[in-house]
Amino acid sequence: MLSIEMMKEHIGSVPESMMQMSDNISTVISLISDLARSGAQIQRIHDGVENLEATLKDDELDKVLGWISSLDPQKRHQDIKAMRLGNTGMWFLERPEFQLWREGDNSTGNFNPVLACYGIPGAGKSVMCSLVIDHLSTSLKVNGNRTFVGYVYCDYRDEVQQTAVNMIGAILKQVLASHSNDIPRNIITELNDGRRKSGNLNFEKATEVLNQILPHFNSFYICIDALDECRDDPRMEFLRSISSLVECFKNSTRVFVTGRPHMKAKIQKSFSSVPYGITLEASVDDIRRYVCHKLEQDDNYDDMEDSFKSEIVESIVETADGMFLLPALQIQTVLEQTSISRRRAALRVMPKKLDDAFLVTIHRIRQQPAAQANQAMEVLKWIYLAKRQLTVIELRHALSVTDFSAKSFDQNNLPFEKTLIDCCYGLVIIDKETSSFRFVHKSLQDFLDKKYESGELFQAGHREIARVCLTYMKFKDSTIVGDPLDNYHDYCQTFRHLWSPYFNRRKSGAKNVDVFPHVQKLTFLKYAIHHWGEHARIQMDDDVILSALELFRFMKDPKCISRGFLSAATFQSSYMDLKSEMSSFTFEAEAICCGLHLAAHFNAVEIAKALLHQFNDIDINSTVLSNTPLIITARNGHEAMLRFLLEEKEINIEAKDQTGMTSLSHAAYHGHESTVRLLLEHSADVHTRDEDGRTPLSLASEGGHEGIVRILLEKGADAESVDEEGRTSLAWAAAQGHCTVVRLLFESGADIHKPEEGRNGQTPLMLAVQRFAEETVRFLLDNGADVNFADDVTGQTPLLLACSRQRQGGKSTVRLLLDRGANIDKMDRYGSTPLSKASVEGNVEIGRTLIEAGADIESKNEYGRTPLARAAYYDNYQFVCALIDAGADIESKDEDGRTPLSRTRSPKIVSILVEKGANINSTDKDGRTPLSHAVGGGKHRKPELVQTMIDKGSDVNLSDKNGRTPLSWIQQNDSPSETETVINLLLDNGATITSTDNDGRTPLSWAAASGHWTVARVLLEKGAEFNLRDNDGRTPLSWAAANGDEILARVLLEKCAEFNLRDDESIESKDEDGRTPLSWARSPKIVSILVEKGANINSTDKDGRTPLSHAVEFESKCEESPKLVQTMIEKGSDVNLSDKNGRTPLFWTCQDFNYNFRQIREIERVINILLDNGATITSTDNHGRTLLSWAAVNGHEYTARMLLDKGAEINLRDNEGKTPLGLVLSRLSEEESNKNYHRIRERLPKVEQLLRTRGGIV
């Protein structure tokens, strides 16, 4: 069945003749899905996914992308694209307006980056949008030209998911998934961190991230389809964000928008200049092409005369009226007739008006046999009145409830899916993407709106739906299955819009939780629980009330849906709060109270009255998850329910929820002014505080609810009270930019100078500037706020904070601060000036404002970095250009001797700096060049950067002070292909592969030591000498063994075998200290590999130490040490072989003294392994000291205790006659210059106490 996305551009109006043929619409729609299937389905986004997976672990990629936005416009695009016929809409791509919009140069000032297309319903707007998306995606992919095409398809049926943050997030999600290689890795990491810390991505953060990303693209296209199908509030917020992006990135950003004609004024108002406009109509050629296509597919094509075929085509084209739907319906109506005569008759009576077609279709539906007619009208009623889209199985379950007295669900009463579609005559379709029922087009929704409002359709619909929900919920088999804390993320997303302000002020550590359990059997149960009350409130009668009361009585059964009622769709809390409260909740005792809470939530006053009348034992102040009925009512602003509850004598108006908020607090926070008045009339405490110390006045001020603030002040609220974080009400209002509230509080005596007592000690002015709330900032300055006040923590001033914001804008706010005397070069405690701050965030508007006002462009922070250096480091190209134009010193060096060119990771910035005279081969304090830093940039290094530097004259063989060339500094990043490309760039431009540094080390040696396998592999393939010794005599194999690089070790060993090298030249090659690669091995696998290849497990170095001796000394600090030691012993290591000082491996476990507790445990495991394999615990070294002596004198209390437990002799004297205790006391009496001696001295008293307790003598 054709999806709604495909149909909505083809169903704009239906001819009047459909009055007699409306029952054929279903077949028509099915066939329309064949339209334009000439292109393959849209490819999934793969580019950049590997890069994202390299940054994020395991399943974090899906979690981050899903967290950013739940919308998936790629699927919608695929559906719409599938219906396009070849060459459809090509005329549009040739329009001058489109060409100018796509290719225009905004630098001229005459160009507009926004193209808006307006069309009547069914004109093909969505199809045209999909064509533009594909055209841009395929025609603008030029090597080296970073181009992004993102899109959003609006849908009137998806109000819950279609929020501003979801739509802007959909753009962000697409750019991350397709262009992550072009985006700084820290942005992706920050998003993942944000996902872990908070429940939702907020709109401001999503916009900020896009602002950070856009400078990395040469072209950034955003396509938005069917903007008229988006609700006003999210649409305006979304467009404000898009407009901001356009203003800040005019040279790179383009926006394409479609909508109905009435959107023209709204779209024009959203942008600073009038967008290009095109009126869309289905072209005659496109319609003719489609009709001919359908004729050719007809089985009886050859039986019709050519003249009749032409007549069909021309008649349909003539009546199309700029829409695709009419031709689609007309051609199918004609072709389904069974004779030429009937086809001619059908052609003569083709309908022309959409509303008439819908009206007659409903008439035809009602003329069906009673069963089908009733079923069809029920389907239409449910789809029209339902509070959200219903899945196929949900609607089937709902329609199965035909007997309100039924006690259990009847599986056999489920209507057939195909019957539900067929009996609706094409007015309803199934969306395969969501498996949901939908109307065929928004025009049908509009038509039903008129009929419902006029009283012609569904007048008892809400009442009937409410009774179905209530009946369904009391089925005896509505048992809850699973943990009631399962699957909470889905629920939070679904219902967050109801209580979003409440969630936003939850503590940062709290998790949002869905307590709706997983229901395995009754699929309609979730909808019923969530929405029954909404339907009941709209149409309440005695039957609904009685059904509700019957259900609440039924809830006493512990196996019933009461557990779901407890909180699903109604109450939410932090995870820990919920766990503790649910564990102590008695369902049977609280069931009726839960019913009262639900009535309060849905504002079902009549049900609440009936409950209190019928059940005398109800505690009106009882809580469910710490919420009383009054709190729930106040939070939702249900005035009728509030009046009813306040009339009850027992009501506790000061009851608090788990956050310490009272009913008044909730009403104030959510902006319910009439609710606040009612509560105050009943003596609610205006001074009440929640657990954060916030009063109703503070909460109302944050929300900008001027009327409530005024009421609270009139009732004596303290305008100067501070919460636990030290913020006043005025500070909260200023932080949100609510100027009218700030003014009101100031006039009531609030102090505008008072800094926060907690946090960073910021003043209201400082809070306001961070939001760029110019009106509030102006008011505060006009009334004496200190423009140069600096906080006590970091020394931030209002101007510094204004310049620290990531989001674009704020120019006028900064200008205002400067005009009022802000110190333009004031530094914070880290030496950053306002210009330096702005250069980091890349806010060019603010940067230019500061430069024009005389800011010091050569100021340096604590690391000696100028604004230019910082802008270059953060790849803020436009900011770099602004600073260069202002005369910034491009050769300024920081404390490390690095210039801006040495800091940048952007090819564009390299080019502009060199063009302006920057020295491409400048050296820092270590003698390193920009190229040296660029190739060593790891995950930030890109081949384009290296190529640009080489093209600009970088010397690929210039050595630093340690003799290292750029080739030796190459680090492996997450993309092996990029790493290989960079190496080839250097070698192809003359880099010496065998160059050695001051220590005699080659690039291969450094790669082996650093574990950069890809670097080493490419160097070996390019002919690097694999066995060169450095000045210490170490080979790349030695370094690879020390690093634990198993793959590289094998490759190097194969190279040795290939060239028939002797053992002493390869596997047994000894360095200047006499150590072999096996002696350096720090991995069990490396040990196994080397021994298998013939390495001597008991080889000794110049000090007589074996590989095992070195392993226990070094590796006793790491978690793998026991396994390493065990492997060496299994391979034949002699556990009692002494070195030249007479020390066995056991002695070397206690030589260091910097171990933490975890490492001590590893040491003990190693000692146990050695002892279990025959190590002698009483052996002595050349000084006569035992292992216990060394453990004691180095402060190893735990090791000493273990050795004593293992039988070590406590009083054995060394060659100087000292016992372990004597050694401890001697060391306590000495003063040592060793920098770590104080650590040992701190531990020695405990060792002394242990030895004395165990019988130690001096």
Distance of alpha carbon 551 from alpha carbon 469, whole angstroms = 10
Question: Using 50, 70 and 90 to split pLDDT, how confident is the model at 107?
Answer: low
Nearest to 927 by CA among 954, 903, 897: 897
Least confident of 478-482, 521-525, 753-757, 1117-1121: 478-482
* Cβ neighbour number for residue 399 with a 10 Å cutoff: 20
Residue 508 has pLDDT above 80, yes or no: no
Which CATH superfamily hosts domain 49-284? P-loop containing nucleotide triphosphate hydrolases (3.40.50.300)
| Per-residue pLDDT band at 326 (split at 50, 70, 90) | low
Closest CA to 755 of 800, 715, 785: 785
Rounded distance, CA 503 to CA 978, Å? 44
Encode pLDDT of 607-647 as tens digits.
999 988 887 778 899 888 788 999 999 999 999 999 999 99
- Using alpha carbons only, give the angle 997, 1000, 1002 rounded to the nearest 5 degrees: 70
C-beta separation of 565 from 599 below 8 A: no
CA pseudo-torsion sign 1177, 1178, 1179, 1184? positive
What's CA 492's distance to the chain center, in Å? Answer: 16
* Cα–Cα separations (whole angstroms), residue 310 to 331, 629, 904, 1144: 12, 71, 67, 102
Q: Is the pLDDT of residue 485 over 60?
A: no
- Cα–Cα distances (Å) from 592 to 307, 478, 560, 623, 971, in that order, read 76, 18, 13, 11, 67
Q: Each residue of 425-484: pLDDT tens digit?
A: 778 888 766 788 888 777 888 899 999 999 999 999 999 999 999 999 888 765 443 333
List the beta strands (DSSP E) in 226-355.
Answer: 253-259, 276-280
- Residue 103: DSSP 8-state: H
Contact 103, 242 (CB under 8 A): no
Find the helix or strand (DSSP H, E) in which 3 lies: none
One DSSP character per residue, 202-240 reads: -HHHHHHHHHHHGGG-SEEEEEEE-GGGS-HHHHHHHHH
Two structure tokens written together for 581: 């409260």
Both tokens of 391, joined, read: 């899945």
Q: How far apart are CA 156 and CA 176, in angstroms?
A: 27
Q: Which residue has the tokens 């509560």?
A: 679
**Percent of the chain residues topping a pLDDT of 90:** 48
Looking up tokens 């791509």 gives 93
pLDDT at 647: 92
Query: Which is nearest to 939 in space by CA: 304, 338, 55, 90?
Result: 55
pLDDT of residue 1113: 81
Which amino acid is it at 1151? Q
> Residue 459: CB partners within 8 Å, gap ≥ 6?
none
Q: Are strands 114-119 and 253-259 parallel, antiparallel or unpaired?
A: parallel
Q: What are the backbone dihedrals phi and psi of residue 185, each rounded to the nearest 5 degrees, phi first?
A: -65, -30
Which carries the bigger pLDDT value, residue 511 or residue 884?
A: 884
Q: Is the pLDDT of residue 29 over 80?
A: no
Please give the Cα distance from 881 to 998 (Å, whole number): 39
C-beta separation of 9 from 126 below 8 A: yes
What is the CB-side half-sphere exposure of residue 174 using CA atoms within 13 A? 23
Judge whether 256 and 128 are in contact, CB under 8 Å.
no
Q: For 388-429, write each residue's pLDDT tens digit.
A: 889 999 999 999 999 998 888 888 999 999 899 989 877 888
| Euclidean distance between CA atoms 531 and 895, whole angstroms | 65
Tokens 């909470």, located at residue:
488
Give the tens place of pLDDT for each residue, 914-926: 999 999 999 999 9
Q: Which band of pLDDT confidence, cut at 50, 70 and 90, is reported for residue 75?
A: confident
The span from the CA of 225 to the CA of 267, in Å, is 12
On the 0-12 / 13-18 / 19+ scale of CB atoms within 10 A, 501 is: middle
Tokens encoding 725: 């974080």
φ, ψ of residue 33 in degrees (nearest 5): -65, -15
Boundaries of CATH 1.25.40.20 in the chain? 1177-1258
Q: Which of 863, 973, 874, 805 is nearest to 187 (CA)?
A: 874
- Return the number of other C-beta atoms located less than 10 Å from residue 305's C-beta: 9
Q: Where in the chain is the domain with CATH 3.40.50.300?
A: 49-284
Q: What percent of the chain has pLDDT over 70?
A: 83
What is the rounded average pLDDT for all residues in the chain? Answer: 83
| Predicted confidence band of residue 365 (pLDDT cuts 50, 70, 90) | confident
Integer Rg of the chain from CA: 38
Predicted confidence (pLDDT) at residue 995 exceeds the cutoff of 80:
yes
- Residue 829's H or E segment, with its range, is none
DSSP state of 387: S
Cα(698)–Cα(731) distance, rounded to whole angstroms?
9
Say which range, 182-191, 462-471, 505-514, 753-762, has the weakest mean pLDDT: 505-514
**Six-digit token pair at 998?**
């001051």
Encoded tokens for 92: 């549009």
| pLDDT classification of 362: cutoffs 50, 70, 90 | confident
pLDDT above 50 (res 252): yes
Structure confidence at residue 74 (pLDDT): 84
In our burial notation (b when 16+ CB lie closer than 10 A, e otherwise), range 703-719 reads bbbbebbbbbbebebbb
The predicted model scores a pTM of 0.73
Q: Compute how many other C-beta atoms are within 10 angstroms of the C-beta atom of residue 31.
A: 17
Q: According to DSSP H, which parts of 1119-1236 are helical?
A: 1121-1130, 1157-1172, 1187-1193, 1197-1205, 1220-1229
What are the strands of the beta sheet with 147-153, ordered from one edge?
147-153, 219-225, 253-259, 114-119, 276-280
Average pLDDT over residues 671-676: 97
* Angle formed at CA 195 by CA 190 and CA 198, multiple of 5 degrees: 115
Joined together, the tokens standing for residue 41 give 């389905």
Q: Chain-centre distance of CA 680, in angstroms?
A: 42
The answer to whether 136 and 102 have CB atoms below 8 angstroms apart is yes
In angstroms, the first-to-last Cα distance of the chain is 94
CATH number of 1177-1258: 1.25.40.20
- Cβ neighbours of 476 (radius 10 Å): 13
Which residue in this structure is represented by tokens 């009673």? 370
Strands 436-439 vs 147-153: parallel, antiparallel or unpaired = unpaired
At residue 392, φ and ψ (nearest 5 deg) are -60, -45
Q: 259 burial class (0-12, 13-18, 19+ CB within 10 angstroms)?
A: buried
Please state whether beta strands 219-225 and 253-259 pair in parallel, antiparallel, or not at all (unpaired): parallel
Rounded to whole angstroms, the Cα distance separating 489 from 442 reads 30
Q: How far is CA 958 from CA 495, 930, 1008, 1015, in A?
A: 62, 11, 22, 20
Q: Check whether 697 has a pLDDT greater than 80.
A: yes
Say which range, 326-340, 409-423, 441-455, 974-988, has the weakest mean pLDDT.
326-340
Secondary structure, 3-state, 516-535: CCCCCCCCCHHHHHHHHHHH
- Specify whether the CB–CB gap between 806 and 212 falls below 8 A: yes
**Exposed/middle/buried for residue 760 (C-beta within 10 Å: 0-12, 13-18, 19+):** middle
Asked if 716 contacts 685 with a C-beta cutoff of 8 angstroms, the reply is no
Q: What six digits make up the tokens of 1139?
A: 């070195």
